Amino acid sequence: MPLIKSAFVLGVAVSYFAGFVSADFPDCVNGPLKTNGVCDTTLGAASRAKALIAELTSDEKIANLNNGAPGVSRLGLPSYQWWSEALHGVAGSPGVSFASSGNYSSATSFPQPIILGATFDDNLIHEVASVVSTEARAFNNVNRAGLDFWTPNINPFRDPRWGRGQETPGEDPFHLQSYVAQLIAGLQADADSPYRKVVSTCKHYAAYDQEGSGSTVRDVFNAIVTTQDLVEYYLPPFRTCAKDSKVGGFMCSYNEVNGVPSCANNYLLQTILRGHWGWNDTDKWVVSDCDAVSDVYNTHHYTATAAEAAADSLKAGTDLDCGTFYQSNLGTALSQGLIEDADLDRALTRLYGSLIKLGYFDNPANQPYRALGWSNVNTESSQHLAYTAAVSGIVLLKNDGVLPITSKDKKIALIGPWANATTQMQGNYAGVAPFLHSPLYAAQQLGLDISYTLGTDISSTDTSGFAAALAAGNGSDIIIFAGGIDNSIEAEGKDRSTITWPGNQLDLLSQLVALGKPVVVLQMGGGQVDDSSLLEGGASTVNALIWGGYPGQDGGTALFDIITGKQAPAGRLPITQYPADYVDQVPITNMSLRPGSGNPGRTYKWYSQTPVIEFGTGLHYTDFDLRWTAGTGKTSFNIQELIGASGTDWDTLEKKQFTTFHVSVTNTGHTASDYVALLFLKTTAGPTPAPIKSLVSYTRVHAISTRSSRTALLPVTLGSLARVDENGNTNIYPGEYSLELDVPNRLTFNFTLTGKTATLEEWPVATN
């Protein structure tokens, strides 16, 4: 693994990347480029890009097909670093440089996507993305970031062991589609805008959701995926990126998919992405994950020579190499006739066409984004949004009434490896935050009577801190234990082998519980751990349990504002919490979703056993009464009538409204609160086995005051009624259906679809 990739995986200091920062903008007024068509704003992006490329030699073309593009000094084309990161804020990466102090020394650090996903608030996601892109542009304007950001990670969180699950919004593909649509809109700005704000890059395409080890490490892994699973589960978020959101970039993944490395996979990159999904504009480009093109030859051994691997990847549609493999091997491929200059030109046209759409070559006076500066970074509203996002995503999993803690007279023992967490709260792919407010800091700011001690580290077996922890607990009225997992055991390049609480945290917890004091547990980290022993009847039964994920720069404040009742919890768990023995029942390398021999099923849609905590779980400090008020009048629908004049055009039918359900949400308790409405579809119509249920609509209703009602609007489309068959075709089937609201189910609407099975989308057959 090359140094740059290893260093990034291991979380090297942001300053490491200072030498990789992008160069200045091209000079279209006084420099050599001024007479080139690339500077002619009356031309289209493709024509401008081609005018530039026409002046390049073959060697210059090849040199500029890696992420650290050197430019062409004789033409006045500066170097450009394509690799910038912004998963949940402008982040340390080769293209991003933070100042050591003062201006541009930090950027707003939002919660990890797993917590953002738990908000089930698409408007919030758009707001967060808008702030991130504003700050990214500000950094770019002073040569401290690029314009292309390799985010989001939109692979569904299929297996609880995956170390990068924290980077995703959760396990449900419908949820991920809705999330990513708003995220890209916020990052790239309106499609009608003359300039993109930044370019977003959907990754990792496709079926990438494990880091692996040994013979199954991601660089050699072959993901065997059925067409049905690929279409129904692994690809929908990427389809939204391509067809609906017109994302500027895609990243192909390390792994093979059914025997073909993703970055050399003509079926994925051409037949599906650029063909079936129509993502074929001349400013749309694909980048490899770092050294994934090299892996085509060196680890997958897919080709006989390095030149063939480079040629296959370029011709399949991987335009940009994160690495130096293209630079080292495309020259040989060209001389051997494996590629032509036209192949180089096509890739460069896409890349420079994208930069043209970003205004890279144009007069800054005509571009509002070029006016953004340090005053637009870390604004008061941005800081408040980061706090709001954390509050909105925190999930209350258990409460016997001990929460909220409203009295400042209570003595609180704050114990555990997350109690004074700072950088831990950011998770991976983070930048330098303007501040990091730990739980301990937040408690102190509230004036609470706090006794703090570590007790134990995340994975420690050392019990020397137990005595101090038990003494603190003995002297308190309430014990708050902040623990769980962090990037020391879940991260890029690091899957978990177990999903139990690590180290001796449960041992300490059981001893704290034995003191007879109320115990509140803050379970932190992106992936779930088995909380069975903490719930009713468990060996270490606690009074309250909160999942806080990686809540970002103001995470401690958000947690304690919920603990003390300043804020009301309303987040929903975006993943399933499995029992510990799940990892013994199915290997992480088994990509099948449906239950079968050696596989109890994946995610809430297919898991055939009893989860510890269900997807969508989330408690409140109040109670809600729910009632249908519209959308439930008719109970039988003819499929052909529903389709009507739309024919079988999937793009139209997927979004065509079936109906919008209106739900009256009445706060019958004594605490104002948000409410997340989750609507699931159940049916046995279509291929077997059928999913247990599938999320088809959701919304977050804000600030429902006590004794008042608000209406939740839940639109359901025809696409949400459809199922995918073994050939990948999407069909609507006649049969009995039901819609269920909330987890556990609070309301049900039963209906029937009549008529003939209708195929809404025919899936292209793989030929390679």
Q: Give the CATH number of the domain where residue 473 resides.
A: 3.40.50.1700
Distance CA 63, CA 351 (A): 13
With CA atoms as reference, report the closest residue to 361 among 744, 733, 623, 37.
37
Q: How confident is the model at residue 391 (pLDDT cuts 50, 70, 90)?
A: very high
CATH of residue 98:
3.20.20.300
Same domain, 263 and 406: no
3 state SS for 149-196: ECCCECCCCCCCCCCCHHHCCCCCHHHHHHHHHHHHHHHHCCCCCCCC
Q: How confident is the model at residue 654 (pLDDT cuts 50, 70, 90)?
A: confident
The answer to whether residue 766 scores a pLDDT higher than 90 is no
Same domain, 531 and 675: no
Asked if residues 252 and 269 have their Cβ atoms less than 8 Å apart, the reply is: yes
The answer to whether residue 160 scores a pLDDT higher than 90 is yes
Same domain, 75 and 209: yes
Q: pLDDT digit string (tens) for 579-595? A: 999 999 999 999 999 99
Same domain, 257 and 398: no
Q: pLDDT digit string (tens) for 452-499? A: 999 999 999 999 999 999 999 999 999 999 999 999 999 999 999 999
The answer to whether residue 20 scores a pLDDT higher than 60 is no
Is 320 domain-assigned? Answer: yes
Element (H, E) at 411: strand 411-415
Is 618 domain-assigned? Answer: no
Among 344, 376, 408, residue at a domain's last position: 376
With CA atoms as reference, report the closest residue to 557 among 433, 436, 439.
439
Could you give the count of Cα atoms lying within 13 Å of 519 in the half-sphere of its Cβ?
28
Is 613 domain-assigned? Answer: no
Q: Are strands 624-630 and 249-252 parallel, antiparallel or unpaired?
A: unpaired
Q: Count of CB atoms within 10 A of residue 497's CB?
A: 10
Distance CA 708, CA 669 (A): 10
Same domain, 430 and 463: yes
Average pLDDT over residues 216-244: 97
The answer to whether residue 674 scores a pLDDT higher than 90 is yes
The answer to whether residue 291 scores a pLDDT higher than 70 is yes
Element (H, E) at 376: none
Burial class (CB in 10 A: 0-12, 13-18, 19+), 641: exposed
Same domain, 285 and 144: yes
Is 11 domain-assigned? Answer: yes
Domains contained in the chain, number: 3
* Tokens linked to 602: 């994946």
Is 611 domain-assigned? Answer: no
Same domain, 401 and 368: no
Same domain, 187 and 336: yes
**pTM (2 d.p.):** 0.96
Average pLDDT over residues 542-562: 99
Among 546, 577, 606, residue at a domain's last position: 606
The answer to whether residue 7 scores a pLDDT higher than 70 is no
Is 289 marked active-site? Answer: yes
Element (H, E) at 298: helix 292-298
Query: Any residues with CB less than 8 A from the CB of 3 and at least 6 apart, and which?
Result: none
Average pLDDT over residues 269-282: 98
Q: Residues 121, 124, 126, 132: is their CA dihedral positive or negative?
A: negative
Instruction: Give helix then strand counts, H and E, for the chain.
Output: 23, 26
Q: pLDDT digit string (tens) for 105-155? A: 999 999 999 999 999 999 999 999 999 999 999 999 999 999 999 999 999
Q: How far is CA 519 from the centre of its chain?
A: 32
The answer to whether residue 86 scores a pLDDT higher than 80 is yes
Same domain, 492 and 543: yes
Is 382 domain-assigned? Answer: no
The answer to whether residue 6 scores a pLDDT higher than 50 is no
Q: How confident is the model at residue 15 (pLDDT cuts 50, 70, 90)?
A: very low
Domain extent at residue 648: 624-761
pLDDT value at position 349? 99
Distance CA 191, CA 271 (A): 25
Residue 389's beta-bridge partner residues? none
Bond preceding residue 46 cis, omega within 30 of 0? no
Q: pLDDT digit string (tens) for 603-631? A: 999 999 999 999 999 999 999 999 999 88
Among 376, 401, 424, residue at a domain's last position: 376
Same domain, 262 and 405: no
Same domain, 145 and 259: yes
As a whole-number percent, the residues of the chain with pLDDT over 90 amount to 91
Q: Which of 289, 321, 486, 742 is catalytic?
A: 289
pLDDT value at position 19? 39
Asked if residues 53 and 45 have their Cβ atoms less than 8 Å apart, the reply is: no
Q: pLDDT: is 704 or 655 the higher one?
A: 704
Is 612 domain-assigned? Answer: no
CATH of residue 726:
2.60.40.10
Average pLDDT, the chain: 95
Q: pLDDT digit string (tens) for 712-735? A: 999 999 999 999 999 999 999 999
Look at 35-49, 178-192, 401-415, 642-656 and tell me which has the smallest mean pLDDT. Answer: 642-656
Same domain, 641 and 747: yes
Q: At what angle do helices 306-316 and 325-335 cross, to 10 degrees?
A: 100
The alpha-helical segments, DSSP class H, found in 514-648 are: 555-563, 582-585, 603-606, 639-643
Is 766 domain-assigned? Answer: no
The answer to whether residue 4 scores a pLDDT higher than 90 is no
CA distances from 628 to 11, 110, 662, 740 (A): 49, 35, 6, 11
Asked if residues 408 and 447 have their Cβ atoms less than 8 Å apart, the reply is: yes
